[in-house]
């Protein structure tokens, strides 16, 4: 093995994974399941309806064999996992351009490819920023393009950056007109892991969180923070269709903490955030609406 001082860029100089295509029938079951998880009175989308933004995360799932998982529950190897030693990963954020929402009940195709690979130096050492690009197609047309930014490091960062205990005070009061609250518990995190084929132990194994990762409790999925912010938009502006969105996951939230997801609309979109009493910006997002004349459920 190369010494720890080897630059991360040297491990990916010849790393050029090819694009891969996946298919999904876009069954309405996942939309019904995530609607139940969010305590919605009925499914947010049924067969023939447009899928809410980011709910494509509950489709195109891969269930690997058990022996393919590492000690942390993540895959040991996969097409878009960079070949660096003692790899640790963090979902940092992403962007999405939606020309036409995906529709439930209509088979879809996803083409995944590697975007940018950028080494950077942070306060805790060298990092590798990897962007995965995904094109979603239905009826032969590109409906949506998503980019996900994943940050990797080799080895663990120095301890002490996480709080020693959770902050279970009530959520802060909203500053914007759109908001919803949530207190994620272990049951909710377990169900979300199951719905996304996510076996990462930080979301369900409390001793592992404490002893290995140094977290005070189970970690709330970063994607849940993004989903909550987008659901604030869906609940408060159901007639407006999201044309584009971007989000950034900044600091983790832990099970038992009271979350506030809120949004401030403008004429063309909205600014969003998730907060606890511990931090005013665990995640932030921005959405842009499609032109009003397009509506929210236009036919193809």
Q: CATH number, domain at 159?
A: 3.10.129.10
Residue 299 lies in a domain: no
With 0-12 CB in 10 A as exposed, 13-18 as middle and 19+ as buried, what is 292?
exposed
User: How far apart, in whole angstroms, are the C-alpha atoms of residue 240 and residue 220?
Assistant: 29
Is residue 124's pLDDT more than 90?
Answer: no
* pLDDT single digits (tens) 258-271: 999 999 999 899 99
**Domain assignment present for 107:** yes
Q: What is the mean pLDDT of the chain?
A: 92
| pLDDT greater at residue 121 or residue 35 | 35
Domain that holds residue 252: 18-289
Number of domains in the chain: 1
Asked if residue 82 is part of any domain, the answer here is yes
Is 51 inside a domain boundary? yes
Choice between 121 and 137, residue whose per-residue pLDDT is larger: 137
- Residue 225 lies inside a defined structural domain of this protein: yes
pLDDT(72) > 90: yes
Model-level pTM greater than 0.95? no
Residue 297 lies in a domain: no
- What does the pLDDT read at residue 126? 87
**Local confidence band at 94 (pLDDT 50, 70, 90 cut-offs):** very high
pLDDT score, position 236: 97
Predicted confidence (pLDDT) at residue 9 exceeds the cutoff of 50: yes
Mean pLDDT of the region 9-25? 94
């Amino acid at each position: 093995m190369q010494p720890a001082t080897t630059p991360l860029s040297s491990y990916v100089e010849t790393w050029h994974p090819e694009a891969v295509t996946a298919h999904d029938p876009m069954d309405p079951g996942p939309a019904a399941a995530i609607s139940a998880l969010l305590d919605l009175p009925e499914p947010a989308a049924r067969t023939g309806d447009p899928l809410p933004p980011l709910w494509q995360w509950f489709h195109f799932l891969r269930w690997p064999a058990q022996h393919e998982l590492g000690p942390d529950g993540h895959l040991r190897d996969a097409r878009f996992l960079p070949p660096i030693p003692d790899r640790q990963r963090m979902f940092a954020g992403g962007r999405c351009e939606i020309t036409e929402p995906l529709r439930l009940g209509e088979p879809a195709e996803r083409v995944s490819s590697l975007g940018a690979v950028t080494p950077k130096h942070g306060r805790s050492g060298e990092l590798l920023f990897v962007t995965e690009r995904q094109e979603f197609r239905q009826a032969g047309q590109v409906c949506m393009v998503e980019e996900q930014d994943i940050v990797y490091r080799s080895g663990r960062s120095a301890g002490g950056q996480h709080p020693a205990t959770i902050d279970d005070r009530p959520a802060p009061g909203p500053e914007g007109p759109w908001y919803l609250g949530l207190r994620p518990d272990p049951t909710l995190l377990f169900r979300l892991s199951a719905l996304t084929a996510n076996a990462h132990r930080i979301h369900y194994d409390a001793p592992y969180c404490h002893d290995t990762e140094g977290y005070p409790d189970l970690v709330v999925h970063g994607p849940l923070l993004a989903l909550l912010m987008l659901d604030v938009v869906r609940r408060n502006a159901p007639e407006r269709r999201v044309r584009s969105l971007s989000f950034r996951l900044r600091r983790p939230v832990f099970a038992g903490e009271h979350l506030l997801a809120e949004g401030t609309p403008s004429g063309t979109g909205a600014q969003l955030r998730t907060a606890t009493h511990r931090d005013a910006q665990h995640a932030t997002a921005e959405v842009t609406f499609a032109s009003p004349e397009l509506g929210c459920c236009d036919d193809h």
